[in-house]
Chain A
Amino acid sequence: MDVVVLQSLEPLIEALTSSGYTVVGPRVEDGAIRMAEISSGADLPAGVGDVQKPGRYRLTSGDDGMVFGFAASPDSAKRYTQPPRQTLVRVRDEAIEEVEQEAPRVALLGLRACDLAAVAVQDRVFAGGRHPDPAYLRRREALFLVAVNCAVPGGTCFCVSMGTGPKAVAGFDLAITELASPHRFLVETGSERGGEIVALIPHHPATSVDIDAAEEVSRTAASRMGRQVDTDGIQEWLPAAHDSPRWADVASRCLSCTNCTMVCPTCFCSTVEDVTDLTGQVTERSERWDSCFTLDFSEVSGSHVRSSGLARYRQWLTHKFATWYDQFGTSGCVGCGRCITWCPTGIDVTEELACIR
């Protein structure tokens, strides 16, 4: 694996752009660091950080000039791997046409190790089983993944517990570690096309000083993890705890609002809807994000299997941390902490799991 050092990200962004990628990276918008289209290094959030707590997210500003000095963005790769809505088929008169789904060439700049782990989880869901989704595969193929190794984990992260971070080890085209004094970027190449991009831009090989500094960044990050989960035997004990009194307790605080599932980078549940035009001649079927927190999700024979908020919260947490193994061979949780930060009432899965255990 090639390891090089860049003085600035500007040439990288240019190389990606000129190779036909739309570059999507961190950028301050509406009081948060979003993953949005960027056109130059100046769009990156220099000196901006974040404070994340259960149910709370605020930006901070400093003058260290670091452009990746923040933790998980509210946005993950999911919007690109599994768009919120996609039209599947169009039925016109007697013909059922498959709708060609878009696979935009996008370079996601700034994904974290947990995000890469999440992409791998989604790969298993959409491409790994008996019914692989060719559109998913095309979308994935069109994504260029530039990871950034976390320097400052957020207050709600627990990737170390989940074994997914903070250092990106696989699944990226390029992985960046931002280094200070002097400000520079260590870049590891993870794929052939990653190497092709690096070849386009001015760089010099990394020295052992650079590499040690990068190691240190990941080591420090790992030691500053905000939270943790004891995953030992979780696949057994969590489903077995279906009658824990804690479920009622958390249900009293849970809004069934779906935010945790929507921000989760692995949650893949969807529903399918038909839309007809006024003449009834053309029908479109589309798939959109759904959540196990909605009532319709479990509707059978006029009633809802999970009509209580308790059952819906239990389903979510149990699926994410335990039964996901049964279905897909891995945990559904990658420890990014988004569900904790973006839960409006600040429900903390790590705390709930500790109490249930």
Chain B
Amino acid sequence: MSAAEKSRPKLAVWKFASCDGCQLTLLDCEDELLPLASTVEIAYFLEASSAIGPGPYDLSLVEGSITTPQDAERIRHVRRVSRRLVTIGACATAGGIQALRDFADVREFAAVVYARPDYIATLERSKPISAHVPVDFELRGCPIDKRQLLEVITAFLAGRRPVVPGHSVCVECKARGNICVLVAHGTPCLGPVTQAGCGALCPAFNRGCYGCFGPTETPNTRALNAQLRRLGMSDPDLVRVYRTFNATEEPFLQASEEAEGDA
């Protein structure tokens, strides 16, 4: 190994309860993968490699939420061996779709799915990584956006603040030149309260945003809900629309509870 190789920063990718999609995003960077592999040492990435480079790691990307006692232990280890820890995707930043258990009785959930739920070791709640250990940066999305992932990695390499703004999807929607589906089609859209990053994908496909990047920096869900009701959404519809991939993010939780209270 040359001296240059030795000094390459070490990247690790970790998985907790998740669908693998966010770490797959890294392998989906077809044009950047080989340059990336020569810029950083991919020291731990089980999905892609059997090689296990020793820690500590300069940058750990963590996918998935914490749902088992063992994982609660394991994430502490990951934090210890990581200089920077960046969580990627709604599971890791908000508990993910599996956090819907938080609104139910997880024992009952287990009983629905498994004949012998007593074999299942699981926590009552699906928690984001930041609920267990300090996190240096959270990259949102279900799944994360490829360009944003590259931006976070290059920003960490360059020592700058990642350009991952907290504003609404509408900013990207307008920049992209989409027609507003909410105004022009009467389609309910969570874009005004959802953080940008996807490039305003859904409106580009004539669909309302369903909030997969979680809440913006200052979401006014009360005002949006009033408008969504005018567009014909019922309170149970509103509860469901906020309870998907980022259900336990505080503003979405409040918005769903508000609708539930009114229901």
Contacts and interface: CB of A to CB of B under 8 A. Distances in A.
Interface string B10-50: 00000000000000000000001001100100000000000
A258 B163 CA distance: 18
Given A30-B179, A262-B171, A275-B154, A345 B184 contact: no
A280 B40 CA distance: 12
A74, A259, A263, A277, most chain B CB atoms within 10 A: A259
B32 to A, nearest CB: 6
Interface residues of A, number: 48
Nearest to A259: B170
B183 A341 contact: yes
A121 B138 CA distance: 40
A21 interface: no
Interface residues of B, number: 46
A55 B170 contact: no
B224 A344 contact: yes
B165 A294 contact: yes
Given A259-B180, A344-B227, A345-B224, A279 B39 contact: yes
A85 interface: yes
A258 B184 contact: no
Interface stretch (B74-82, B108-116, B185-193): B185-193
Contacts of B167: 258, 291, 293-296
Nearest to B157: A280
Interface in B85-117: none
A14 interface: no
A246 B171 CA distance: 26
B154 to A, nearest CB: 5
A29, A293, A344, A345, most chain B CB atoms within 10 A: A344
Given A254-B220, A257-B191, A56 B168 contact: no
A255 B175 contact: no
A222 B25 CA distance: 55
25 contacts: A31-B184, A34-B179, A55-B227, A57-B180, A254-B220, A255-B223, A256-B168, A257-B170, A257-B191, A258-B170, A258-B171, A259-B174, A262-B171, A276-B158, A278-B32, A278-B36, A278-B157, A279-B39, A280-B154, A289-B171, A294-B165, A294-B171, A295-B217, A341-B183, A345-B223
Interface of B: 32, 35-36, 39, 150-151, 153-155, 157-158, 160, 163, 165-168, 170-171, 174-180, 182-186, 189, 191-193, 206, 216-220, 222-224, 226-227
